[in-house]
Chains A and B, each alone.
Chain A
Amino acid sequence: MKTRVKELRIKAQLTQQQLADLVHVSSRTIISIEKEQYSPSLMLAYRMAEVFGVSVEELCCLKENKELEDRQYEDL
């Protein structure tokens, strides 16, 4: 799932480890989220959104991801 985690993290001048410590996960999880290999849980997304001062919808690009999913269903 596409997210704005990397963009917002760099803007906030945080390292992956610092962000991981703030949201109580391992740095490997942050790396996977930024590489779009792993989708964060609702609670993790909320914690990260709080750190960056944005909404969960903005952080996880929910509108964009929903449109992408809808297109996949239409193509079936």
Chain B
Amino acid sequence: MKIYNKKNFASGLFSITLGLALLIAMLVTGNWRPKSVVLCVLCLLFGAESVTRALSRDKAIQDLIDQRDERNILVALRTKSTCFTVLKAALFVLCTACALGAAFHPVEEAKLILAGVLIVTGLLWFFSLVLELACSIHYENKL
């Protein structure tokens, strides 16, 4: 038995372990919630599929081609970039809304809550700016 794709094999084993752990937990507690059952089944199925693909030469080659495919890599990069940009913009809008709300809301308690949310979203937004700058400097030097 040869493992052709170690990464997929490891993730498959991890999913199977998770699924089994959930199954054991449900058996021990006797609590069979539909959400947990579905999650357990999905984990086991995904894990089994990943392990099967990792042990099959043809499927492992196909997975490797998909992972290294230049168009797939570009799509993933663009997706992450757009996601980050949208998230940054959303944080900024949320910050602004919270700031205005904290300044002009008639109820004092609401002002406090909005101020708290403003601090959290403000910090996240600031962190995203710093992160972007750091990544930009890193890739300017690397490429």
Contacts and interface: CB of A to CB of B under 8 A. Distances in A.
Nearest to B67: A26
Contacts, number: 24
Instruction: Classify chain A's interface size.
Output: 10 to 19
A32 B72 CA distance: 11
Which secondary structure characterizes the binding site on chain A?
Answer: loop
Most chain B C-beta atoms within 10 Å of own C-beta, residue among A26, A38, A40: A26
A35 B69 CA distance: 17
B109 interface: no
B65 A44 contact: no
B70 interface: yes
A40 B65 CA distance: 15
A4 interface: no
A41 B70 contact: yes
Interface in B97-138: none
A41 to B, nearest CB: 5
A26 to B, nearest CB: 5
Most chain A C-beta atoms within 10 Å of own C-beta, residue among B66, B71, B72, B74: B71
Interface in A10-43: 24-26, 28-29, 32, 38, 40-41
7 contacts: A26-B66, A26-B72, A28-B71, A29-B71, A29-B72, A32-B71, A38-B71
Interface of A: 24-26, 28-29, 32, 38, 40-41, 44
Q: Which 7 A-B pairs have the closest CB atoms?
A: A29-B71, A26-B69, A25-B69, A41-B70, A38-B71, A26-B66, A29-B69
